[in-house]
Amino acid sequence: MNAFQIEESFPTLITPRKHFTFEKLIEEVQNNKPIIEQLLLKNSALLFRGFPFNAPDQFSDFIKSLKLGTCVNYLLGDSPRDKIKDTVYTSTETPSGFHLPLHQELSYIKKFPKHIYFYCQIAPSHRGETIIADAREVYQSLCPEVIQCFQEKGLNYVSHYYYKDRLMMTLNRFARSHKSWMEVFETHDKSEVEDICRTNEVSFQWLPSDWIKLKQNRPAVMTHPITQDTVWFNQAHLFDFNPRLLGLLNYIGTKILYCRPSTSLHEIRFGDDSPIPRPYLYHILDVLDKKTVAYPWRQGDVMVLDNILAMHGRAPFKGKRRVLTALTI
């Protein structure tokens, strides 16, 4: 790693010792792949800063040079995103004033991505960090009673996605939040939707007006296959729409919007279908807040996360912000 300066913080900061061309960066990454992999397993998050990233294609080529896995599309994902090219997307189009709490990407599906990547193309003028936390520390900081309950029971995730609902389409013009199933599955073909569901062990039910209901039973805790570390690995705190998560006014608006259960974006219960006590969910949010690390973006930064060991989210921001993302499995 003579070509790189390494600062083992969280995230681990990797900078060039001298001027790099993009081709030189790819060469050095390939030459030092084992060391980069060990740093990622140890520290869970790497931030490459000061390298010549100027376009989405370079971001994509960099990911391929790391060879951590196969790039995949964002199927079954609930966050509003724009597809830029191939498997590169905007990180989220959730309204800028909303705080997106920490989570692992697609932790509610069976074939979740093992790594997630972020590229800062335009840094916001105020805040807008891709916040991160070490999921090992989150697990160790949670109340034993909460851990035991979640670990023993597991979780049932329920989602509803629309076809061409005029109300939802109108609302999304002002604040993108509730995706259609065509966006979630990246297809208009119902048979393809059903195939994707079966592959991921997702129960599905077609509802009136071509809405679809998805149900997934997943564990709440995960053991990393290489490090054997135990981590908190779920999105229960994001699937429960409550005043703490949304803010009081948004919460009231959401209760009115989703007055019919068959149209509610998300629901979460324990695996035995019993309700999750809201104090448990608030405790989880408290721990996540305490463990949050907010590292300000600079234009050209690229962050690599182990999607089991590291959690990520997004701070509210002002100004223009463009952060791209990609996944490997």
Q: What is the mean pLDDT of residues 290-303?
A: 97
What is the C-alpha separation between 47 and 297, in angstroms, rounded? 10
Segment among 66-70, 97-101, 153-157, 325-329 with least mean pLDDT: 97-101
Which whole number is the average pLDDT over 140-150?
98
Q: Which residue has the higher pLDDT, 18 or 87?
A: 87
**188 or 246, greater pLDDT:** 188
My answer on whether omega of the bond before 52 falls inside 30° of 0, hence cis, is no
Closest alpha carbon to 255 in 240, 269, 268: 240
What pLDDT score was predicted for residue 258?
Answer: 78
pLDDT band (50, 70, 90) for residue 256 = confident
Please state, in angstroms and rounded to a whole number, the distance separating the CA atoms of residues 124 and 322: 8
pLDDT tier at 257, thresholds 50, 70, 90:
confident
Which pLDDT belongs to residue 250? 81
Overall average pLDDT of the 51-62 stretch: 97
Average pLDDT over residues 86-107: 96
pLDDT of 123 higher than 80? yes
pTM: 0.95
- pLDDT at position 112, please? 98
Q: What is the mean pLDDT of residues 214-227?
A: 98
Both structure tokens of 260: 């019919």
* Sign of the CA dihedral with 258 first, then 262, 265, and 271 last: positive
Q: What is the mean pLDDT of residues 146-156?
A: 98
- Give the chain's domains with CATH numbers: 4-98+108-132+295-328 (3.60.130.10), 138-288 (3.60.130.10)
> Mean per-residue pLDDT for 184-203?
97
pLDDT band at residue 135 under the 50/70/90 scheme: very high
Q: Angle at CA 311, nearest 5°, toward 307 and 312?
A: 110
Q: List pLDDT tens digits, range 4-37.
A: 999 999 999 999 998 889 999 999 999 999 999 9
Give me the chain's average pLDDT, please.
95
Task: Please work out, in degrees rounded to the nearest 5, the angle formed at the alpha carbon of residue 7 by the alpha carbons of 91 and 232.
Answer: 50
What beta strand segments (E) does the chain contain?
A: 4-7, 12-16, 45-48, 71-72, 83-85, 88-90, 100-103, 115-122, 126-127, 132-134, 155-161, 203-206, 212-218, 221-223, 230-232, 266-270, 302-306, 310-314, 317-318, 322-328
Q: How far apart are the first and last CA of the chain?
A: 26
d(CA 233, CA 238): 12
Rounded Cα distance between 257 and 128, Å, is 28
Q: What percent of the chain has pLDDT over 90?
A: 86
Residue 293 and residue 57: Cα distance in Å, rounded?
Answer: 28
What was the pLDDT predicted at 176?
82
pLDDT at residue 249 is higher than 90 = no
